[in-house]
Structure 1
Amino acid sequence: MLNRSHQIGLLALLSSGLLACGGGGGVSPQSELPSQPDPITWQLSWSDEFNDSQLDLNKWTFDMGNGFMLNDQYISGWGNNELQAYTNKAANVRLNGNGQLIIQALVEGSSDQYGNYNYSSARLKTQGLFAQAYGRFEARIKLPVGQGLWPAFWLMPQDNVYGTWAASGEIDIMEARGSNPSQVNGTLHYGAQWPNNTYSERHYLFTDSDINEFHVYRIDWTLQGIYWYVDDQLYASQSAWYTQDQAFPAPFDQDFYIIMNLAVGGNYDGNPQSNQIFPAQMEVDYVRVYEALN
């Protein structure tokens, strides 16, 4: 998120949830200890355990291609100079029969109906199918390793109540650089519409593992703040944000939907240096959302 260009803001300027976690100025303080959330009793409100033979299309839909149209202009690379075309093909997104969702990035030849792209992958979302304000959002995921791989698990607003990106907010539960398998990041985007938006990022460093093993990535999103966890270990909290002329808790007081994707190349981790890292798989064991009972 730190290196993304103005293209990102253009991508999201008039859209809801097309970008892959956008950029803009901001800070990345890490020295302070995260505050502890108040005790909460949680109740499951939505989940996908991926135990069926096929992906449940009552829960998930897809972004397709390598970009989108904006004011009669095609914005390629999803605003981030990404190299892949997203598809809904079984080669890129499927259930493996063992209770896991596979999002797979592949090397392509002279590609398909999406154009001439050297890579394909998938991006799933619950937009229009499920969204929730506040709660616990978590997923157990194994991530691929290799420069140019950019997996993410994140939230976007169902409605742009406070304006277009990033005035209505973005919550990155987890994203990683394939070139740095010892770290994942959690970030908020907010403040105002691009280019006057800002962000605040936190990171988690693995000590005896890395992203290429299964871990549970989670946020607890409450009235007091947002709290980031890896394997139930609290590593960051944020409770100071704003948007346009609205104070805290705006914009993070609205319904947000879920996105999971595996991007290839672009501004976040650079482009692949070798195709030997493919096929690259993001393996998702489950996604669960809870709401507070107290």
Structure 2
Amino acid sequence: MKKNSYMALSKLRRTKMHTLLLGKLIVAGLLISCSGKEDLKPLPVDPGTPVVVAGPPTDKGWSFETTPVWADEFTTNGLPDAAKWGYDLGGSGWGNNELQNYTNSMNNASVNDGILTITARKENVGGNAYTSARLVTKGKGDFLYGRFEIKAKLPSGRGTWPAIWMLPTDFAYGSWPKSGEIDIMEHVGYDPTNVHITVHTDAYNGAIGTQKGDAKKIDDAFTAFHLYRVDWTPYAVRGYIDDQKIFEFVNDGKGYATWPFDKKFHLLLNLAVGGNWGGAQGVDETIFPKAMEVDYVRVYKMIEK
């Protein structure tokens, strides 16, 4: 009796253990079935999350189309073409203690015989002692990368400050200088033979004296037209005068503080009077009116690689 009882008890225990194990397997199977296969995959990456690329980009040797994607040859006399140019207006000093009031008057910006003339005049308008013009392509010509060519003749005289340059259209990284600036040509009258090409960023800018740029000596910048050019690619901003490279600023891959030049920019043409740089040695009031003349503006699209 004892042996038979022991065997019956052992059989009962084995049956309970098998039943318990089977129950656990069934529960596990139900859990897997309910959760679905998707839970076994890694979580998807948010497509809106920016991908951070470590290190500088590779120079792919980008070239440019030979036909301009945007241009103004200034073939129609009168005011500049309103389909291509707008105006910055006013006399607030423009962040540099400048002396002019920018207008949209033909007295300050006009086209005649294939030449755009931007003229600074000594006349009191809006409480400013001078008038001039600042033409912009914002909303009418906004570009990401490309070759930019402007053929121009510069004004002479102490106190003049002409510029051919570019600003970001949307200031995606913040106010100046965080979103960048590209100066294709900049000149101050008291330093007559040096013509500058410069960039400004959050890390490198004129406000803290760290801007990156270079200059070329041009003896006849006031009496002859010269070709001012920038080639802008994901790798570098390269500056040329009469097709001679005088400046290169390379993308170091460290982000917008050093390279904000991955957003759309637009062109500006202006002639300032005085200001922190242009007026550093005073303004000769006897020289006005003074003008910057522009033969053409051409923008060539970068060919993707």
User: In the TM superposition, what whole-angstrom CA distance separates every residue of 1:103-123 from its partner, at most 9, and x where no partner exists?
Assistant: 000011xx33xx222111000
**Residue 166 in 1 paired to residue 166 in 2?**
no
CA contact (8 A) 1:241 1:247 kept: no
Question: Which consecutive aligned stretches of 4+ in structure 1 deviate over 6 angstroms post-superposition?
Answer: 193-197
Residue matched to 1:128: 139
Structure-2 separation of matches of 1:266 and 1:196: 17
Q: Percent identity?
A: 44
The answer for unaligned runs of 5 or more in structure 2 is: 1-58
| Structure 1 residue matching 2:128: 3-state secondary structure | coil
Distance 1:276 1:232, change over 3 A: same
Please say which structure displays the higher CA radius of gyration: 2
**Residue 258 in 1 paired to residue 267 in 2?**
yes
Decide which structure has greater strand share: 1
- Once the two structures are TM-superposed, the CA of residue 240 in structure 1 deviates from its matched residue by 4.0
Matched positions, count = 242
The answer for unaligned runs of 5 or more in structure 1 is: 1-35, 68-76
Give RMSD over aligned pairs.
2.4
1:32-51 matches, cutoff 5 A: 38=61, 40-42=63-65, 43-51=67-75
**Residue 233 in 1 paired to residue 231 in 2?**
no
**Residue 268 in 1 paired to residue 291 in 2?**
no
1:96-135 matches, cutoff 5 A: 96=112, 98-108=113-123, 111-112=124-125, 115-135=126-146
Distance 1:183 1:240, change over 3 A: same
What TM-score do the two structures reach when normalised by structure 1? 0.76
Q: Which amino acid aligns with 1:142?
A: K
Residue matched to 2:103: 87
Structure-2 separation of matches of 1:224 and 1:214: 30
What TM-score do the two structures reach when normalised by structure 2? 0.73
- Out of 75, 83, 89, the position equivalent to 1:58 is 83
Structure-1 separation of matches of 2:229 and 2:191: 20
CA contact (8 A) 2:201 2:257 kept: no
Structure-1 separation of matches of 2:252 and 2:98: 29
- Out of 159, 163, 184, the position equivalent to 1:152 is 163
- Out of 282, 285, 301, the position equivalent to 1:291 is 301
- Once the two structures are TM-superposed, the CA of residue 212 in structure 1 deviates from its matched residue by 3.7
